[in-house]
Amino acid sequence: MRTFQIQTDSDLNQVKQWITSRYSSEEDSKDSTDSVVKTVQWIINTVKKNGDTAIAEFTSRFDGVLIEPQEFEISKQEIIKSFNALDPKILKIIETSAENIRIFHSRNLRNSWEETLDDGTILGQKITPIEKVGVYVPGGKAFYPSSVLMNVIPAQVAGVKEIIMVSPPSYNGTIHPVVLATAHLAGVTKVFRIGGAQSIAGLAYGTEHIPAVDKITGPGNIYVATAKTMVRDIVDIDCEAGPSEVLVIADGNANPDFIASELLAQAEHDEKACSVLITVNADKDIINKVNKRLEYFLENLKRKDIIEESLNNYGAYIIARDWDEVIELTNYFAPEHLNIQTEFPRKIEEKIKNAGVIMLGSMTPVAVGDYIAGPNHILPTSRRARFSSPLTVEDFRKVSNYIFYSQSRLQNQAEDIISFAEIEGLTAHAFSVEIRTENRRNIRNE
């Protein structure tokens, strides 16, 4: 982990520069990015042209699984079998998480509305669910039943009729049984054992066996993320997810073990995850304490190699001059996860404008949000919390505005509408109002 000691404005700018370029490396060079884009474009074009045959070939090439198109979909019987075989203790945990997620997201629902004015004019908004959604659940380095819940339940609460799940066949040529059981519990309509960019192309354009959807959500590797970006001209997507990240704000009274655990937990996601601790100069001794505990805990962790690479390349300790600078850097960072371990965390929180999720206090690890608290763990990364939000039920619904104009209102506003149209040089717009109103030639001549 590198250390930034801020003593001057130049030091502050150096930290900001590191924040904006923290994912830059030789591997992430333009040539590498171009290579990913070209590969994904080739996959998408091939799937568009050859459909299921292309997906089967790519599944064999990239996942090492030989599978015929008619075998893409996992049968209801196999899904129910996985559900029935689930350990009752695990089932109870998943049910608790699902219920908390459902309750939290139900509170986000907006209602359609309508207003009738005195002259009979009607203005309103009609909110309707997206009809068909595709959910991507990763399955490479680990399996993620939590991703099933966080994607599917908000869609279900929103009223989506068809929820199509795809996931790589990385567990003995199929999907992990816990993921299948969770899909059944959450209410997934269909499950396909395909992954990668080819599955995104299949969901976007449709094939003989895979239905085309209206929106695609869910995290994935760089090929999946790039594919989602490339198909968004015909389907909506949730976000362009980058590597996971946590920013811990701590004072001198914070527990070094708790801080270290947060940095380690985030770093174990993958080698590019970003884990940062920020404090003030007066409390900088906390960094040495945390660093010792990091080294101690790391020796016994299963994903030690991944964590070490992540912390060495993308981890940092930042020592700010004061708490105002801590707030400034936090809002500049716009972290996916913000963990505040200070004596009065709400005083910090009230000044935070940019963060995907804010974990308040020493007893609120990021893991409670990942699994069981209820808020969504699909969050904006790479500073996107400056302008975007976590996945919510409203991401699966859309708004239609509607207008009914009475004759009297159109007559009263005709001159203004016509004049506005003529300012923009759109005479046909003006004519569409003129032809419906009285004395239109007089209005037109004026």
- pLDDT tens-digit series, residues 199-237: 999 999 999 999 999 999 998 888 999 999 999 999 999
> Rounded mean pLDDT of 334-344?
97
- Is the pLDDT at 446 greater than 60? The verdict is no
CATH class, range 2-23+242-373: alpha beta
pLDDT, tens digit (0-9, with 9 covering 90-100), for 16-29: 999 998 755 444 55
For residue 313 the two structure tokens come to 């390349």
> Rounded mean pLDDT of 334-345?
97
Q: What pLDDT is stored for residue 21 in this prediction? A: 85
Q: Please state, in angstroms and rounded to a whole number, the distance separating the CA atoms of residues 67 and 56.
A: 6
pLDDT, tens digit (0-9, with 9 covering 90-100), for 118-164: 999 999 999 999 999 999 999 876 789 999 999 999 999 999 999 99
Q: What pLDDT is stored for residue 368 in this prediction? A: 96
Q: Active-site residue 184, yes or no?
A: no
Q: What pLDDT is stored for residue 444 in this prediction? A: 52
pLDDT, tens digit (0-9, with 9 covering 90-100), for 347-379: 999 999 999 999 999 999 999 999 999 999 999
Q: Active-site residue 336, yes or no?
A: yes
> Rounded mean pLDDT of 182-196?
97
Q: What pLDDT is stored for residue 26 in this prediction? A: 42
Written in H, E and C, the secondary structure of the chain is CEEEECCCHHHHHHHHHHHHCCCCCCCCCHHHHHHHHHHHHHHHHHHHHHCHHHHHHHHHHHHCCCCCHHHCECCHHHHHHHHHCCCHHHHHHHHHHHHHHHHHHHCCCCCCEEEECCCCCEEEEEEEECCEEEEECCCCCCCCHHHHHHHHHHHHHHCCCEEEEECCCCECCECCHHHHHHHHHHCCCEEECCCHHHHHHHHHHCCCCCCCCCEEECCCCHHHHHHHHHCCCCCEECCCCCCCEEEEEECCCCCHHHHHHHHHHHHCCCCCCEEEEEEEHHHCHHHHHHHHHHHHHHCCCCCHHHHHHHHHHHCEEEEECCHHHHHHHHHHHCCCEEEEECCCHHHHHCCCCCCCEEEECCCCCHHHHHHCCCCCCCCCCCCHHHCCCCCCHHHHEEEEEEEECCHHHHHHHHHHHHHHHHHCCCHHHHHHHHCCCCCHHHHHHC
- Is the pLDDT at 393 greater than 70? The verdict is yes
Residue with the larger pLDDT of the pair 139 and 51: 51
* pTM for the model: 0.91
8 Å CB contact between 19 and 11: no
User: What confidence category does residue 33 fall into, taking pLDDT thresholds of 50, 70 and 90?
Assistant: confident
Pick the catalytic residue: 105, 176, 184, 337? 337
For residue 402 the two structure tokens come to 């509607």
CATH 3.20.20.70 fits 34-241, yes or no: no
Q: What pLDDT is stored for residue 241 in this prediction? A: 78
Percent of the chain with pLDDT over 70: 96
Pick the catalytic residue: 325, 336, 377, 434? 336
Query: Which part of the chain is CATH 3.40.50.1980?
Result: 2-23+242-373, 34-241
The region of weakest confidence among 91-105, 189-203, 228-242, 357-371 is 228-242
